[in-house]
Chains A and B, each alone.
Chain A
Amino acid sequence: MSNRNQIELNKFLTTPYSYGFITDIDTQKFPKGLSKKILKLISQKKKEPTNIECFRLKSYNHWRSKKFPTWMTLLFDKIDFEKINYYSIPVKSLEKINPEILKTFDRLQISLTEKNKCSSMALDAVFDSTSITTTYKDKLAKHGVIFCAISEAIKDYPNLVEKFLGSVVSNNDNFFAALNSAVFSDGSFCYIPKNIKCPLDLSTYFRINDKNAGQFERTLIIAEENSFVNYLEGCTASQHDKNQLHAAIVELIAFDHAEIRYSTVQNWYAGNEHGFGGIYNFVTKRGACLGQYSKISWTQVETGSAITWKYPSCYLIGTNSTGEFYSIALTKNYQQADTGTKMIHIGSNTKSKILSKSISSGFSTNTYRGLIKISPKAKLAYNFSQCDSFLIDSNSRVNTYPYIEMHNSSSKIEYEAKISKLTEDQLFYLQQRGFTFEKALELLINGFCKDILTKLPLEFAIEADRLLTLKLEKSIS
């Protein structure tokens, strides 16, 4: 790349993270490290029933017996699990939300009030280990929709929680799932009753503020027969020079003819341009299409995290059920992303579609890892996968690991992969037409991701567009 374009590119790569501010606030924390005693403290603090306490203790035992996974293409220093605060909540002032936290969400342009009557989105805001507030609960309740913090659901809807918690991601599933199941603090719970199209989009905003606290949230969404929900997840974190751990679990359950659309725009702090700091993001997201003709669709835009380890997956159990995975992963500087999906076809006539786009720059590593498994009973199953990579400069690395396990002959799998690189001639052509470097890059990246951006709900599409092109940085400053 020519000098001038390289300078422009460096500007793009070093745009500062604009959500990195730290909220100075009194917190209540449990001592660092993880033990049965800490788990009991969490349970006591949250006044949980014994079954949840038992769930935590069993998960803890599973976690102790598991080894840290090593199969992924990620390089980082060993995480010291004894140096993490597993529970950190802001001290409450008489049931009122701490004004500092209100200010924080204001600055993030996230509204915690219901003043906007036209809003089409209900929000659960999670700050470190606790849910701050959930908006439009009453309006949703009129339709029978339950949307609340999971710690409230544990108290208010114990039967639902007991039935479904850990039913898709077992507490023995993997190292991080076991860890989360032991220490999960808060997150969102959604229940959409039969025949209801959720009248508002539901969303959760996760904010990590504390320097030493890990965030271990847990989300559970249940869509009963013939229901529909659009769920959005956003996240940002304060900027610290050390890494913070985020290990979440998301479980989705869809019954007959139900549809869940789950979209994430992930913008955790990714570390600085030398690779220091940033969130270590180890997340287990999985949906079960239990009913016939059910559908689960994952859409993710990954721009943050120093490390991303995340494979939103679908168990396609009901006949004619559908799973979808749409992903854009943008990595720069020293970010490492190992992300993809698993589509497990169990029922007959099940379909899945995977569309993954990675954009890499700087010294980053961007890996797609995907499993398509078609069981003997999944007659006439069909999968289509497409993995495209776009390299902005020549120091970054792209890997694609497709795994295919096919156990019957009536099914079909199609797989396409493509790697393209930003060429000097393409840039020259656009610049000769009056496009600045920034505009040209923006257009190229948008063009590359277009078919996924159009899958996002409107608010998110705008946000994703901003993140990808970093316009937001400018509009804030």
Chain B
Amino acid sequence: MKTNNIILKIENLIVKIDGKTILKNFNVEVKKSEIHFLIGPNGCGKSTLSKVLAGHPSYTVERGKVTFFNKNLFKLPTEIRVQEGLFLAFQYPLEIPGINTLDFLKIAYDEQLKYFKKPPIDPFLFVNKIKKLLGELNLHEDFLNRELNVGFSGGEKKLLELIQVLLLKPKFLIFDEVDSGLDIDGIQRLFSIISKLKNTKTSILIITHNPKIIEYLKPNKIHIMIDGSICKTGGIELVQLVEKLGFNFFKKF
């Protein structure tokens, strides 16, 4: 065991899609139970980073290394990464017609149990478990009998992502555009959950282009990303700087 508690280490990462380089020499280190914010203008590569980490097949890793709990992340297939604790909460969760939300959650949970060589959960126990989670989020049970994300509002989709987070208890959580689609109440619910997760020693990387929400949470680090790499890392003071000067100011760094 390493003593420095680093769970994710990205070194000199270069990533391409369709021949275009999106991530250019990206570096970051995340320790246990830290909250990091990654902010930057639209199109700077924030979402690409999240997809590459989660294992989206469309991206090509040109160079660089990502170590996740001392394992080479790129050696792990997409579905194994989540079982090893890396969870991506999507900016736009996919609508999948014909799949019942409750069934989907049950399979996801059972697949995790299977990975840890445990038998599937009893359906009744599972329903109770889910109902409890819905209660925490103030959500109606009707949610479960709908088709996965089909016809959900932007906010409902985000809340369903949160239910999955609470269910699967990831060790490292990436929130892509965490606040998009959420109203004020939704954002507050989200933050109360994130605070709780922090107590469970989950590390979180939050991606946003809206610096305003950062002050609600007390992040350990804030990274400003411009054009495919991090140009500045700091604390909460960066937020005021960005608000005052805009992202353009940081392009010089």
Interface residues of A (CB under 8 A from B): 2-5, 420, 423-426, 428-437, 439, 443-444, 446-450
Contacts and interface: CB of A to CB of B under 8 A. Distances in A.
Nearest to A447: B98
Contacts of A437: 79
A226 to B, nearest CB: 37
Contact of A429 (B77, B87, B93, B115): B93
Nearest to A442: B107
B11 interface: no
A424 B17 CA distance: 14
A433 B57 contact: no
Contacts of A430: 96
B55 A431 contact: yes
Contacts of A435: 79, 107-108, 111
Contacts of B100: 447
A103 to B, nearest CB: 35
Given A426-B94, A432-B87, A436-B111, 16 more contacts: A3-B57, A4-B77, A429-B93, A430-B96, A432-B90, A433-B168, A434-B82, A434-B112, A434-B115, A443-B104, A447-B96, A447-B98, A447-B99, A448-B98, A449-B98, A450-B98
B88 interface: yes
A383 B48 CA distance: 48
B58 interface: yes
Contacts of A423: 94
A3 B93 CA distance: 23
B54 interface: yes
Interface of B: 51, 54-58, 77-79, 81-83, 87-88, 90, 93-94, 96-100, 103-104, 107-108, 111-112, 115, 147, 164, 168
A4 B79 contact: no
Contact of A447 (B81, B93, B97): B97
A5 B111 CA distance: 19
Contacts of A443: 99, 103-104, 107
Most chain-B CB neighbours within 10 Å: which of A5, A420, A443, A449? A443
Most chain-B CB neighbours within 10 Å: which of A425, A434, A436, A437? A434
A428 B56 contact: yes
Nearest to A3: B57
A431 B100 CA distance: 17
B79 A431 contact: yes
9 contacts: A4-B77, A5-B57, A428-B55, A428-B57, A432-B81, A434-B111, A434-B112, A435-B79, A444-B98
Contacts of A420: 97
Most chain-A CB neighbours within 10 Å: which of B77, B98, B115? B98
A3 B78 CA distance: 13
A426 B97 CA distance: 10
A464 to B, nearest CB: 15
